[in-house]
Structure 1
Amino acid sequence: MRAALRGGGLVVIALVSGLVWWLIRYEPAAEVQPAAQPQNPLTSGEFDYTRVAGPEISAGCAANSYGDVVGWFREHPCDRVHRSLYETRTQDARALVSVVVVTMPGQTGAKQLKVTTDTEGTGNVNDLVRDGTATLPGAPNVAGGEYASRVVGNRLTIVEVQFFEDTSGSQELLGEIAHDALRLSAAAR
């Protein structure tokens, strides 16, 4: 009887040991997570945008500017300028959105350029309608609308927004569109 108990005990110990060994060695298969889909900058914010002109990409920032900004670029050459036009519709309003992304050699230059372009009356980088690159029927003068800008690293994003003549909306709405459109710089890669 003792021998049977010892034998049974050894079997139990062997089973428990095997179970512990299996638990230690067993690694559950990692759940396969779908890869995160990159967000589309045209549709991932408060407003949806449709590209209507561009992109126009150039290393000639001075040639694509007006006012005091031309002289600024002659003293501080950029690496490139990326210009596009978008349209957005909301609340029965239609707006034209100019997005300009200027890449400077360093962040300091981008910050200095922001100060210059943010100052009233100093000029700016031409939008594609202003310089005649794009011809859009009834296109408004975006420089007369709302403005937003942001520096990220060595890139300055400049947004100008204005309603089309056949529509109207509040200045507050234009401001919301301008700040939301800053994310369109992600489309300028």
Structure 2
Amino acid sequence: MTQRIPPLRSSDTAPLWRSEIGQLDSLLSSPPPPPPPPPAARSRRGLLLKGLGLLGVALVSGLVWIAVTGKEQQTGTPTPTSAPPGGEFTFAVSPDVPEPLKDSSCAPHAYGETQRFLTATPCQQLTRGLYTTTTPDGVTVYTSVSVVRMKTAEDAAKLKELTTRDGTGNVNDLVKDGAVRVPNLPTLANGGFAARQDDRDVIIIESDTVRHGKDEAEHVKLMKRISNDAFRLAADLNR
């Protein structure tokens, strides 16, 4: 016996074609996806990103280098240099005394009436340095700078007045004291002398050469000029 298949009704097929039409409308209404960039554009973009990355690394490396070298410059050992600008002569720190010599007792480093005064009126500190410069005709000049710090400004004034008088002795320069040995130059006291008071400090400077010129008066005058120009060196000794 043959089985009879019932015919399809329009109500049975409506959901199918309506669903297909809805999917088609959705596809048609959606914007098409952007096309992939061409190989050349992708290559340029990759190079640009790599370039920016290298630039960032270079900037960071530069900042690190500046920080490290700046720190080295601040913490490194200073090299002895000439005196600050603004004077007539250029002074250099003597390699025999690369650092200032300091002592809490002044009397053992003095002579004559000055020594007796410093024994009765002790200083607080004696700081001395040795420098070299040259005369206009190229002769080496040795300059000793001594800074005597007294307890009061009144004591400093008395010491300064005492050392500027003839025959009253003085604080030993570094050559006379034996800290530096210069052949044929036992002391700088025979050259040019200068003294100045700065509150509690008395700055005493003596300069001389191994050999003097024919005109002794002119030699002493030049040595005094050099000593007066060396007052600016005292600021370096007290740092």
TM bucket, shorter chain: 0.7 to 0.9
Q: Alignment partner for residue 62 of structure 1, among 102, 107, 130? A: 107
Query: For residue 142 of structure 2, what is the aligned residue in structure 1?
Result: 96
Q: What is the identity, as a one-letter code, of the residue corresponding to 2:124?
A: D
Is 1:174 aligned to 2:219, yes or no? no
- Which entry has the higher C-alpha Rg, 1 or 2? 2
* Partner AA of 1:43 in structure 2: P
Partner SS state of residue 93, structure 2: strand
Cα distance change, pair 107–135 in 1 and its aligned pair in 2 (3 A): same
Unpaired runs of 5+ residues, structure 2, are: 1-80
Judging by fraction of residues, say which structure has more helix.
2
Q: Which has the higher contact order (CA 8 A, sep 6+)?
A: 1
Q: Which has the higher strand share?
A: 1
Give the secondary-structure state (helix, strand or coil) at the position aligned to 2:146: strand
Q: CA deviation at 1:102?
A: 0.3
Q: Displacement of 1:171 after TM fit?
A: 3.0
- Among 146, 156, 161, the residue aligned to 1:110: 156
User: TM-score if structure 1 supplies the norm length?
Assistant: 0.72
Identity across the alignment (%): 34
**Corresponding residue for residue 93 of structure 2:** 51
Which residue identity lines up with residue 70 of structure 1 in the other structure? Answer: Q
What code does the residue aligned with 2:171 have?
Answer: V
SS in 2 for 1:160: strand
Q: Which amino acid aligns with 2:109?
A: N
Query: Contact (CA 8 Å) 2:212, 2:219: kept in 1 or not?
Result: no
Query: TM-score with structure 2 length normalisation?
Result: 0.58
Aligned counterparts, 1:14-25, within 5 A: none
Q: Which residue of 1 aligns with 2:68?
A: none
Corresponding residue for residue 74 of structure 1? 119
Shift of 1:172: 2.7
Mind listing any 5+ residue stretches in structure 1 that lack a counterpart? 1-39
Report the 3-state secondary structure (helix = DSSP H, G, I; strand = E; otherwise coil) of the residue aligned with 1:98.
strand
Which secondary structure does the structure 2 equivalent of 1:121 belong to? coil
Q: How many Å separate the matches in 2 of 1:70 and 1:178?
A: 22
Q: Deviations over 1:14-36 (max 9, x none)?
A: xxxxxxxxxxxxxxxxxxxxxxx
| Conserved 8 A contact 2:128-2:147 | yes
SS of the residue corresponding to residue 144 of structure 1 reads: coil
